[in-house]
Chains A and B, each alone.
Chain A
């Protein structure tokens, strides 16, 4: 089986690729691409996508510029003709990686689940190492992980272990499944706990069946076979609950987009019945809560929150096609002042900004956002995606939280005295 979607039995791949015929060369994608605006090394989505794709064959390509695509997906979102530019480029990037070889680094940093399992028991040591300058310099030289790139700290415990012992006092038959993702499990377990508490506050019993990594980091680095294995396993783990009628609620907008659409379109898994079943039932948590509100079911016993926050909708969140539901929820909270950022991308794009040769580009991509954040100097930056939050914190110096953290506080579920300032790490 070929990696890049050039195999003949790949019907959806052909559909994705075939969509390039709809390209009218309007260049809207070039206008919106945050990477080509930051570096001449990436010639832009139209050039790398619909134009170059016509010349790509099973032979190795001489043009390697598509490697500089960060996979943010903005091009597909803005295309007025429905060309799947980002998906075409993801497949081309995978083929390129396949031809030129995948660096050891990319095989390591994309295994978020394995990294989490290794790092969690030795969190203090691991975290100290990740913040140790000489070790980071060594890591840059030996592996190509940029010494200044934002890396999260292991929490030293997992969300799963909390969930296993968590007993909810919710007498209800309304059940949802919480898909927490690796970021919550190993680095931000408190975020998962808050999400569960918010769902329970709204009268849902929350199940957390065995899950696993969605494979997105692997997919981004062109390791399609491994990514397929991970996402199939995840879909298999979630499918029984969906068959039982449950909705899957997620806090990571990139992992949930993987389940909703990317695994099917980029990895060509349209024939995976379990994945298809699951994909139609995944909801981002803010999307889910806004839907509840529209049905008149969301509890709105929000306390006023005295805070000024900046909100950045990550690219992958925008890929859901659901607008910015976090803003709709924040509008229900009195005294919360929200500045909506309209810069497009923070630059990190999952693991892109960790890579030595791409770190500077990622920082340049994010600079318009960091500038906007600095201009409003908020107490917090709210953002739905974990890697974006880490990048924003590192680059802007402002703590960054998931929208759930604001809601949790407004519901009075956080153990903080009223009137105290919100900080980034509760």
Chain B
């Protein structure tokens, strides 16, 4: 029962590492404070959406970014690791508990999908239920909302999409009543649960068929079932006779939950354990090795001995990093040094919201083996790997790179550990240990 690897955090990066390790036969314990961040994300895997300009081929843009900016997490990982991780995730979802629900797309091509605000989202891998709204190909779309549903306004989406595509795509908006029995406010999850009930998808399909026109793609809020999205989506398409797609809602996100449920189930299937409600507060270690992770649980503290630690606690938003009013920033679980915090006399934030903010690139500096570096650029621990949004050097919300960095670094961390444990023979030489930051 003693884990060989303790993963701290159950978002995209932590679960990618945990599943990949568990499936390779390693004893994995994932410790998480709460339920993870996946259900707050739209469920798409955005590898790289913007690098100055909007990106059409993420993989080659990542390679260029890595050359240009050696401190960026993608420079530590390399484009090939991103492609590997994307292929790996697609295969895992396709064999997950929601199969035949799957992800479609390619790391070499961004789709352009509508958001709930009618903005174009460049995304590489998306649930099959979203792909039909790809605005590179669609001609005519009807956005259908449910009356009373908050934060999903079809006319807003339609107008913004028309503007964003310069009128190249014709978008129409309409609303229907929510399925019967949803008194009061039809929230995202109530709608999704209602469609999991027998007969509900067919009943909704019949009502939608009356709304859609012959040549239109039908776009709905992403509420097409939690337990059987493929089945519900297919039922709608069959009855309506037109392509149907989901537009991700504002949080909470049903497709995000599906991805979380999928990875969690794969972890468990492979013998990995997930313990929520455990708040990692430090380590026990000597020299350059962590020997145990200290955890605050109900009634006090306990520690989990381990050979490896994967730190996947995220950035400031999820509490992995924190900043105090005196502009000191630190990493909350293991107490690692944070790099890239602007000095008092330097610019921290730009005056315009969407401009680059120097402070937002702060995080844990790591080498190509994802080992954390201290303030002097030396490896802090030999058996700790840092993944996901805790890594320094990226601005995921401007780049549209958050899931990509999380997925690729989590998956890469698993490969590095497996390689060190010699459970698989990698064909590529082991990563160079020289400090980058």
Contact = CB atoms under 8 A, between A and B. Distances in A.
A321 interface: yes
Nearest to B314: A80
B275 A322 contact: yes
B1 interface: yes
Interface in A294-350: 294, 318-324, 328, 331, 340, 342
Contacts of A318: 276-277
Contacts of A81: 34, 319
A293 interface: yes
Given A30-B189, A80-B318, A82-B279, A280 B39 contact: no
Contacts of A259: 299
Interface string A232-275: 00000000000000000000000001011100000000000000
Contacts of A321: 275-279, 295, 297-298
A28 B1 contact: no
B183 interface: yes
A28 B40 contact: yes
A26 interface: yes
Interface size class of A (residues with CB under 8 A): 35 or more
Interface string B298-315: 111010010000000000
A242 B363 CA distance: 43
A119 to B, nearest CB: 31
A153 interface: no
A137 B204 CA distance: 41
A261 B298 CA distance: 6
A26 B265 CA distance: 23
A280 B299 contact: yes
Contact of B274 (A32, A37, A323): A323
A40 B1 contact: no
B297 A320 contact: yes
A32 B35 contact: yes
Contacts of B193: 37
A151 interface: no
B34 A340 contact: no
A31 B254 CA distance: 9
A92 B264 CA distance: 33
Q: Of A26, A261, A321, A340, which is in contact with the most chain B CB atoms at under 10 Å from its CB?
A: A321
Given A77-B277, A82-B279, A319-B277, A28 B297 contact: no
A255 to B, nearest CB: 13
Interface string A74-92: 0011111110000000000
Contacts of B257: 31
A100 to B, nearest CB: 24
Given A30-B252, A37-B189, A40-B183, A320 B277 contact: yes
B251 interface: yes
Contacts of B348: none
B314 to A, nearest CB: 9
Nearest to B254: A31
Contacts of A280: 299-300
A120 interface: no
Nearest to A340: B268
A27 interface: yes
A294 B1 contact: yes
B174 interface: no
B58 interface: no
Contacts of A290: 1
B150 to A, nearest CB: 11
A79 B34 contact: yes
B278 to A, nearest CB: 5
Contacts of A77: 34-35, 276-277
B252 A27 contact: yes
A216 interface: no
Interface string B251-285: 11000010000000100100001111111000000
Contacts of B252: 26-28, 30-31
Interface of A: 24, 26-28, 30-32, 37, 40, 76-82, 257, 259-261, 279-282, 290, 293-294, 318-324, 328, 331, 340, 342
Given A37-B190, A80-B318, 14 more contacts: A24-B317, A28-B39, A31-B189, A37-B189, A77-B276, A77-B277, A78-B276, A82-B279, A293-B1, A294-B1, A294-B2, A321-B278, A323-B275, A328-B273
Interface of B: 1-2, 29, 33-37, 39-40, 183-184, 187, 189-190, 193, 251-252, 257, 265, 268, 273-279, 295, 297-300, 302, 305, 317-319
CB-based closest 9 A-B pairs: A260-B299, A321-B277, A80-B34, A321-B297, A323-B275, A78-B35, A261-B298, A280-B300, A260-B298
